[in-house]
Amino acid sequence: MIANADVERYREKGYICVPSLLPPKELAEIVNTANEVMAGARELDRSDDVLDLDDTHTRAQPLVRRIKNPNQHHEVFQRLTANQRILD
């Protein structure tokens, strides 16, 4: 499914993009879920078990660096980690 150049890019950059790997409906569900989880940052003053917040984060201007272990916090991310298209 991916070319040798993709493997090299992954080794260099730590990620690759495979266009059209997931259908638009599935991508929308993932994005919506990520946005829903990150919306919780408006209730936080500091990072917690779910969200890693930037040093400049405030409740008024939330800034999330990452969702920690997303597959442990939402079924959508759990399904994504087990998606055969990604694993292949």
Is 70 exceeded by the pLDDT of residue 38? Answer: yes
Residue 88: the pLDDT is 82
DSSP three-state, residue 20? coil
Residue 2: the pLDDT is 81
CA proximity to 76, closest of 28, 15, 20: 28
Instruction: Report d(CA 2, CA 69) in Å as an integer.
Output: 26
Predicted structure pTM score = 0.80
Q: Binning pLDDT at 50, 70 and 90, where does residue 9 land? A: very high
Is 70 exceeded by the pLDDT of residue 1? Answer: no
